[in-house]
Amino acid sequence: MAESVAPPDRPLTLEEKKAAARERARAARAAQEAGVAEALVEVTPAAADYIREHAARTGRPEGIRLRILAGGCSGLEYRLDLLEVGEETGPADREVVSSGVRVVMDLKSAIQVAGSVIDHESSLLRSGFRIRNPNATGTCSCGDSFSA
């Protein structure tokens, strides 16, 4: 995986964002060719327990599909769904097993989240997934969307 570089003290230009996305794509391809799929995304034990609990309750497999969609306050937003029974990965999908749960994502989403950690928190103010994404150049205050 490429080294993480601190973002500049100014907003990135469109060309800088494109160059960073191309570098993430190169790094993701290199990791896949080297068989280092685990480097894509890490699921913490707390998040894995939450996924397993909800999968068991709904009769689904222990795993999630992670998508990055246009939208949210910062331009891109995370979408997490439990896997469907019998859901298979396609040729454009990337699959990682972390903390015993499957994480399936399309290639474009995988590039955006390479090196991320998916955690689950439960507090008085917030209960839900928290994604620490080293590729995010900005996030909204709620943490549900980001820019890259």
Give the residue extent of every domain in the chain: 14-147
Q: Which two tokens stand for residue 105?
A: 């994502």
Its pTM stands at 0.71
- For the domain made up of 14-147, the CATH class stated in words is mainly beta
Are 127 and 121 spatial neighbours (Cβ–Cβ below 8 Å)? yes
Q: Which residues make beta-bridge pairs with 66? A: 80, 105
Q: Which residues make beta-bridge pairs with 67? A: 79
For the chain, what percent of residues have pLDDT higher than 90? 30
pLDDT digits (tens, 9 = 90+) for 41-73: 899 999 999 999 999 999 999 999 999 888 766
Backbone angles phi, psi at 58, to 5 degrees: -105, 0
CA angle 109, 115, 117 (to 5 degrees): 90
